[in-house]
DNA sequence: TGTACATCAGTGAACGCGCGTTCACTGATGTAC
DNA sequence: TGTACATCAGTGAACGCGCGTTCACTGATGTAC
């Protein structure tokens, strides 16, 4: 729609206020967590009356959804940029994607928790969140895509192989099912590492998180034959 | 203290009420999540007046702490029992521990989220939670302990090696640093897999979670040389 | 064994607070003729 | 270009609700002599 390109003053003001609300909500998130996100608190911070928020978001859940979609998009963009900067060496591309995701998570711990932590009770993520979430996995798959076919690994059982082939298809990977399963596992490993670090489960165990993370990213690269 | 063994009626009643409060709180947790756990709702369910709860717990946070400690203990006990049942084959012991953790998590998704999901905002876990949490990792290490020294792996950088040696010491493992790092990684991988499954991140990707999980548990066993 | 006293569980009212959402409204900004 | 009308942003009051925590209290249960 042209109205999005040549916007009138009203439209531009609206976009600005929506952005301000989301920014304030993000700040609020950092203090109270997702479950405690309050429309009234957000309105207060913007010197608005609480009911004014309803001009921009139909409900608290709709604002939450916007934050989640923005979060995935922001994270995906960070990963994609890192991948683009990393050149064409598959292992470097993999490293760049992993590092970008961890760095983003450390910079935005509460948004990370919103995306990959406990689900918000009573809130069901709508389908709008699927696409940006998929972009993150696509960035993680970039190294394998660059590397092309890999030495085959033992095939997983049929049900798993079928899932793996669907994933390969969706991400444009020409890789055997076993390797795709390893990529899925590497993703859960990656988010497991980041979650443990951010949520405090490695307190008193791991002291040099940078080195530990780098070590494991390379181990995963080996496993993926990158 | 003897009073814990030969308890009077008052003491026995007290223990029973504490248990009832925790049970109700756990049920409430399942509906509202940790952030929404409400003393008043718990009291209502037990047909008590809300202030009566304060005879048993000094504050909401103290009740939360009790739930967390119980959660880790319960999970650790489940893992330890599975390990004990599994016999002496290291790989079987490893499989049993992993399966027990996943099964417990699926049976208690909200307690799992309380333990391994996003931290509760404004709540700092007290040191009481460390011991039972460590028992879980000890159960995961049982396979490696049984297997004894493994073929050495490339040594990690010094800071990581030092952490690994401290962990080996604490868990009573006679294993090289590289292998200990792999065990730590396997733990984060395990909890990453379980979290992704429970928190819905594999929706539309993995259809046969049992098979996928079993496949990865064996891959980790290979990596640990079990 | 019987009695006096201390301990404890549970009550009910209250404090002060914050929340999401609705509604009728005012006034400013844009649009169509 | 000027005017009439429609659209929209933001206001302020209100609804009905739930929360954690404190406090003075009643009555039952245990303990010491």
Q: What distance in Å separates the CA atoms of residue B13 and residue B78, rounded to the nearest whole number?
A: 27
CB proximity A14–strand C (7 Å threshold): no
Tens-digit pLDDT profile for residues A122-134? 888 889 999 999 9
pLDDT band at B15; cut points 50, 70, 90? very high
Q: Is the pLDDT reported for residue B131 higher than 60? A: yes
Per-residue pLDDT for B88 more than 50? yes
- Residue A10 — φ and ψ, nearest 5°? -60, -45
Average pLDDT over residues B179-187: 97
Answer whether B220's CB lies under 8 Å from B186's CB. Answer: yes
> What residue has token string 């490993």?
A189
Neighbouring residues of A113: CB distance < 8 A, sequence distance ≥ 6:
A33, A34, A198, A199, B118, B119
**Residue A178 pLDDT more than 90?**
yes
**pLDDT of A81 above 60:** yes
Report the pLDDT averaged over residues B115-135. 91
pLDDT in tens, B42-63: 999 999 999 999 999 999 999 9
> How much is the mean pLDDT over chain A?
94
**Closest chain A residue to B187, measured at CA:** A192
Sign of CA dihedral A209, A212, A217, A218: positive
pLDDT of residue B166: 97
Pair A175, A168: CB distance under 8 Å = yes
Q: Report the alpha-carbon distance of residue B105 to residue B114 in Å, rounded.
A: 11
- pLDDT band at residue B187, thresholds of 50, 70 and 90? very high
What pLDDT sits at residue B8?
A: 77
The answer to whether the beta carbons of residues B133 and B106 sit under 8 Å apart is no
Chain A CB contacts of B118 under 8 Å are 33-34, 113-114, 117-118, 199
Chain A CB contacts of B122 below 8 Å: 32
Q: Above 90 in pLDDT, residue B1?
A: no
Integer Cα distance of B209 and B212 in angstroms: 5
DSSP letter, residue A207: S
Cβ-proximal residues to B215 (8 Å cutoff; 6+ apart), any chain: A156, A157, A160, A181
Please say if the pLDDT value at position A4 is more than 60. Answer: no
pLDDT at B5: 46
- This prediction has a pTM of 0.95
Average pLDDT, integer, range B92-115: 97
Q: Which of A41, A188, A213 is the best mutation test for B, with the most CBs of B within 10 A? A: A188
How many Å apart are A111 CA and D31 C1'? 57
DSSP state of B151: -
Which of B190, B193, B185, B192 shows the shortest CA–CA distance to B223?
B185
Question: Which nucleotide has its C1' atom closest to residue B53's CA?
Answer: C10
Distance in angstroms: CA B9, C1' D32 = 18
CA of residue B61 relative to chain centroid, distance: 19
pLDDT digits (tens, 9 = 90+) for A153-167: 999 999 999 999 999
Q: Which residue is nearest to nucleotide D30 (CA to C1')?
A: B10
* Cβ atoms of residues A123 and A182 within 8 Å: no
């Amino acid at each position: 729609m042209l109205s999005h390109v040549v916007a009138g003053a009203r439209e531009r003001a609206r976009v600005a206020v929506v952005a301000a609300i989301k920014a304030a909500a993000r700040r609020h998130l950092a203090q109270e967590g997702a479950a405690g996100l309050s429309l009234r608190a957000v309105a207060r911070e913007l010197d608005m009356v609480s009911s004014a928020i309803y001009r921009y978001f139909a409900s608290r859940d709709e604002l939450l959804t916007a934050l989640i979609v923005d979060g995935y998009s922001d994270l995906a963009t960070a990963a994609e940029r890192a991948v683009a900067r990393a050149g064409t060496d598959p292992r470097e591309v993999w490293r760049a994607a992993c590092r970008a995701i961890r760095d983003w998570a450390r910079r935005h711990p509460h948004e990370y928790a919103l995306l990959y932590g406990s689900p918000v009770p009573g809130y069901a993520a709508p389908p709008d969140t699927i696409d940006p979430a998929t972009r993150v996995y696509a960035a993680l798959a970039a190294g394998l895509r660059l590397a092309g076919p890999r030495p085959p690994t033992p095939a997983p059982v049929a049900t798993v192989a079928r899932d793996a082939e669907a994933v390969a298809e969706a991400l444009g990977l020409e890789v055997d099912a076993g390797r795709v399963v390893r990529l899925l596992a590497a993703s859960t490993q990656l988010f497991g590492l980041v979650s443990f670090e951010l949520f405090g489960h490695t307190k008193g165990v791991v002291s040099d998180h940078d080195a530990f993370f780098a070590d494991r990213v390379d181990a995963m690269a080996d496993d993926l034959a990158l």
